[in-house]
């Protein structure tokens, strides 16, 4: 695993956030550990439904998929980050949060995820962005899912409910969506089946009002390097699309070919390192990016059970 970085080369262009779901530690213990590190935090029960919108602190909260109540205390939960940017101070804070979780013996079980949220306000060409994004997901979601497993090959128990695959459905219709139509945002999300919801691997339900995209694929982890890789990969994918590095006609042509294989489509089989290499070479902006992304992908592949 590569070194933890304090600069990924994006500066303050994008605001982003992350959620760290964990088990094995009481929330009262987590709060005490964060307090000892003098981190800005708040225990905010059900903060997402209570209107906390500043996100100028790290929120410790319960999560329905991981929290139990034992000894009249909450065991397991999530930490939602404050608004982050690519600054050394921010990466130091993230590492300290992970250290705090390790100090109280938190760990990730089969239900835990690590979500990444990005503010897309800086995007220049909305039509290009969503056409490229949807076609990349249609073609390469298998590689995305494998990379975002993070520490090892593991199919999260609730990923089919909370981070569903959408590539099969996209392959069926995305080439027929007219992205020049004023209503293209609605059309490509609602085409027989509603996609890009809070139950899918990529969530756009908060885009219309808040300009957020949420990447829900990643498995849970409290390893700061893996979390950084998940964030960095997500940001560099968004930034590469914003820089319009992808040939839309080529993506459409690849989709037409891929549709011929839909009958034999399998979500976790036939991962292609060549496909992942294409994505990495398209989005990476440094040697460190390439090494980090390929290292994580290969680590997951090495731990995949033999078929």
3-state DSSP helix/strand/coil percent for the chain, to nearest 5?
Answer: 45, 15, 40
- Three-class DSSP category at 21: strand
46 pLDDT band, cuts 50/70/90, is confident
- Three-class DSSP category at 119: strand
Predicted pLDDT at 267? 53
pLDDT in tens, 76-102: 999 999 999 999 999 999 999 999 999
307 pLDDT band, cuts 50/70/90, is low
Alpha-carbon distance of 118 to 211, in angstroms, equals: 8
CB-based contacts of 83, cutoff 8 Å, min separation 6: 15, 16, 17, 55, 56
Predicted pLDDT at 1? 76
Predicted pLDDT at 224? 98
Enter the pTM of the model. 0.95
């Amino acid at each position: 695993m590569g070194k933890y970085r304090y600069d990924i080369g994006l500066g303050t262009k994008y605001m982003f956030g992350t959620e760290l779901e964990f088990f094995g530690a009481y929330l009262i213990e987590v709060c005490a550990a964060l307090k000892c590190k003098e981190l800005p935090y708040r225990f905010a029960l059900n903060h997402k439904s209570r209107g906390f919108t500043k996100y100028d602190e790290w929120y410790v909260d319960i999560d329905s998929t991981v929290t139990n109540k034992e000894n009249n205390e909450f065991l397991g939960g999530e930490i939602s980050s404050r608004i982050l940017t690519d600054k050394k101070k921010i990466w130091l804070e993230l590492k300290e949060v992970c250290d705090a979780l390790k100090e109280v013996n938190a760990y990730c079980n089969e239900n835990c995820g690590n979500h990444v949220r990005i503010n897309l306000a800086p995007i220049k060409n909305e039509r290009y962005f969503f056409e490229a994004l949807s076609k990349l997901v249609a073609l390469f979601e298998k590689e995305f899912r494998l990379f975002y497993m993070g520490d090892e090959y593991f199919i999260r128990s609730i990923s089919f409910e909370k981070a569903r695959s959408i590539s099969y459905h996209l392959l069926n219709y995305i080439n027929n969506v007219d992205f020049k139509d004023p209503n293209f945002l609605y059309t490509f999300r609602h085409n027989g089946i509603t996609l890009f919801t809070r139950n899918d691997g990529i969530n756009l339900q908060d885009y219309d009002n808040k300009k957020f995209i949420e990447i829900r694929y990643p498995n849970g982890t409290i390893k700061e390097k893996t979390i950084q890789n998940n964030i960095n990969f997500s940001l560099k994918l968004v930034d590469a699309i914003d820089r319009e590095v992808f040939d839309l006609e080529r993506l459409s042509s690849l989709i037409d070919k891929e549709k011929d294989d839909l009958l034999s489509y399998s979500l976790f089989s036939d991962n292609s390192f060549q496909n992942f290499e294409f994505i990495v070479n398209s989005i990476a902006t440094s040697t460190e990016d390439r090494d980090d992304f390929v290292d994580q992908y290969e680590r997951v592949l090495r731990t995949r059970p033999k078929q």
